Structures are given as C-alpha cells and as structure tokens.
Amino acid sequence: MGKATGFLEYQRETGSIFPPEQRISNFNEFHLPLTREKQQLQGARCMACGVPFCQSGMMIGGMVSGCPLNNLVPEFNDLVYMGNWRQAYERLAKTNCFPEFTGRVCPALCEAACTCGLDGDPVTTKENECAIIENAFLEGFVQAKPPKVRTGKRVAVVGSGPSGLAAAMQLNRRGHMVTVFERSDRIGGLLRYGIPNMKLDKSIIDRRIRLMEEEGVRFMTGTDISTKTKADKLLKEYDSIILACGASNPRDIKAPGREAKGIYFAVDFLSSVTKSLLDSNMKDKKYIDAKDKNVLVIGGGDTGNDCVGTSIRLGAKSVVQLEMMPKPPEKRTENNPWPQWPRILKTDYGQEESTAVFGRDPRIYQTTVTGFISDKEGNVCGAKTVSLRPEKDENGTDPNGSRRRFRKDRRRRPGFHCSRFSRGAEMYG
C-alpha cells in the first residue's frame, strides 16, 4: 500500500491557513485544503508499516496511542494516493460515523503514532481523512441509507452530542426506530455549542443531521429529560434508552471571592457566543462579551485555548491563560518515546493569535488561582495566584508521568487584575 518510496520522495505538506491578523476578524473556519493532486501525494507518504500503530488505539504510557476508532489508516491513505476516492470513503466509513467532525477537531493521535514521525514528519492522515469525506459529499458518494427492514423496536437516545449521534446512526441502520432527545434548541451538543465555529462550522453538523433525518432518525429539541416523570414516560414508551448526556457539570474553583460577578465557566461562555452567532450573527448581543476586557483563562487545554481565540475575536483588551502543569519540552524526552503520545509543547490557534495581537504567548505555567478580587459593585477585578512545583508521588513517578502532585511554591506571583474571566475545561483547584 502507498508508494514504497513516497516518504522519501515527498515532503509533508498541509493546507494553508489564514494568518492570525486576518482570521480573528470573524468566526469562520480558516483552514484551506490542498488540491486533490497534492493530497494524493500526501497519501503516497504512508509506508504501509508492518505494525501500523497509527490505527492501534492502544494505551501506552498512560495515554492512547493511535486512532481510538481503529480507522484503517494505511488502507485509506493508499486509496487516496491511487485516486480511488470513492473506495477511500467507503473504507473510512466502516469505522468512522462522522469523518467530517474528526477531520476538523480530532487531535490526530494517528499522526502522533505514525512511523514516519519517528525520524521525520508524519503522514497528513488527519487532512487526508477530511479530504476524503469532503470529496465524498461533493461527488455525491454520501447518501442517506435508511434500513430496508425495521425491527419494531424503539430506542430513545438522550443527548445529541457526538456519542448520542453515533449511537443513533448505528441503531437506526440496524432497523430500530430511534428518537434523539436534546434539551438545547439545536442538535449537536458539544459539537454545536462547545466547539467554536472557527474550528467546526455548524453547517457541517446541519448537513449530517439532514442525512440522518432522511434515514429515519427523529430529533426532539428543547426536551429536557431530567425529571422522574419524563424518565418514567420514556421507560414505558421505548424498549431501550441510551444516556449520552455528556459532561455538562463543570469543575469549579472553591476559592475566596468566587461569587464575584464576571466569572464564567468555559462552555457557558463559548455556548453564548455560538448561539448568538447562529441566532443573529452576533447582532442580538446575547452573549458574554469580552470586548475591551482583560481576560483571564484558567486552564491550559483545548477548551482554554478556544476561550483565548474567542476572546480575541470579541475584542479583548488582553488575555492571560494559566496552566497548572509545567511547560512541556519542545522535543520528546527519553522517557516519552515513540509511539507514545508526545508530551511536548504545542501551540494552538488561540495562542498563535494572542502572540500576533498582543506580542506574547498568553500561557503562564505552574500557576493557579487561590482567590478572586472584586470591586465595590461586586464585579471581579483581579485574581490571587500562586506558583506551583511538581513532585514525584509515593510511587516515584517521573516528572513527565501522569501521576503527579503539586506543592505551592513559596514565591508568589502578583495578582492579575482583570474584569472578565472565562474558565477553561482543564481546571485545577
């Protein structure tokens, strides 16, 4: 599979990206794909390894290595190289319900475990995947597939996030009558309101929902199944119930001053912006506004980064992002060998945009909040922070291990004065 010498003949090439100064003016996706011909050459770089870790989905060193969906990566890469786009789609669809979602927002664990990445640049598997599904939609390969025979069984799926939608798709195709219940006003869950539009344009979700409706899946929005009465009704009316409710309970910081106005959970902040964008293109002003505010994002993960990028698009005066963990190394260390997930420094789009706008990376490492400061009106205007230092636990886990504990450093950082906070998902109390 692939071209035997492809990884030697062709360099890794990805699609172009709008520069930060240009893309922060809107909430549109900012990645441009390669031409079909160039994408096929990227498929040629796949080496058809004897042991393709890219599709393994194994736990190695406490982290997943390779695709958790077990996508048949070398096979569809080869089909891309050969120009067999329809077969590539059919192969990808065997393991992945929604390649149009993962091809945009997945952290590309396949690429982190790619053999080419051991001593060079990995294959552009994530972009190959996105190219396959977008070409499939363009060419009309993706068609509704309603089941030919119905089982007579009724299934209720509570929650319309990625897991709920995947369960609904698979059960419907097996002939069951599936109804998806969503308490929000739109289908999608985390896909819809947790992921900003510039990472996943919501028309992509709508396109898939229309297909699922053609296949026979029913969607009920504005339906909150949280009381015993409603739950009992579902139990009576359906043969089986799947709870795909997501993780809507955020982790809070129990620190003095937490009750101050202007402190928000990340998903509440992101959801308000996306909903306003979808409802009125931001004209209704029904979102948590960061314009001309000094924003402090507590949490260094993907959601924290999304808060940074969203705040910049809203016109924040400044953005600071606190990360409890130490700053990762730029290259793999000896105790983090391939094909483990690389615990190295990654700079995402939000941090890139902060650097372009404010002249610096917003992240401050080994730091957390111990209290909040409010003004006379009760609005938050500052935070008390403290430096941290990592220690090995009682099992002697190394500094890059997953089991760590942190001690407060005697050297305290000065408080960051701010009038608007957005909390990241990775919150450490």
Give pLDDT tens digits for 228-276: 888 899 999 999 999 999 867 888 999 999 999 999 999 999 999 999 9
What is the predicted pLDDT for the residue at 47?
Answer: 87
Structure tokens at 88: 């590539």
Residue with tokens 């599904």: 133
User: DSSP assignment of 337-396, as one string?
Assistant: -TTS--------HHHHHHHHHHSS--EEESEEEEEEEE-TTSBEEEEEEEEEEEEE-TT-
pTM for the model stands at 0.90
What is the predicted pLDDT for the residue at 398?
Answer: 54
Integer Cα distance of 174 and 133 in angstroms? 23
What is the predicted pLDDT for the residue at 357?
Answer: 98
Three-state secondary structure readout of 81-108: HHCCHHHHHHHHHCCCCCHHHHHHHCCC
Q: How confident is the model at residue 297 (pLDDT cuts 50, 70, 90)?
A: very high
Please, what are the domains in the chain? 6-139 (1.10.1060.10), 154-243 (3.50.50.60), 263-423 (3.50.50.60)
User: DSSP assignment of 198-217, as one string?
Assistant: TTS-HHHHHHHHHHHHHHT-
Q: How confident is the model at residue 227 (pLDDT cuts 50, 70, 90)?
A: confident
Q: How far is CA 27 from CA 22, 124, 265, 274, in A?
A: 11, 25, 20, 9
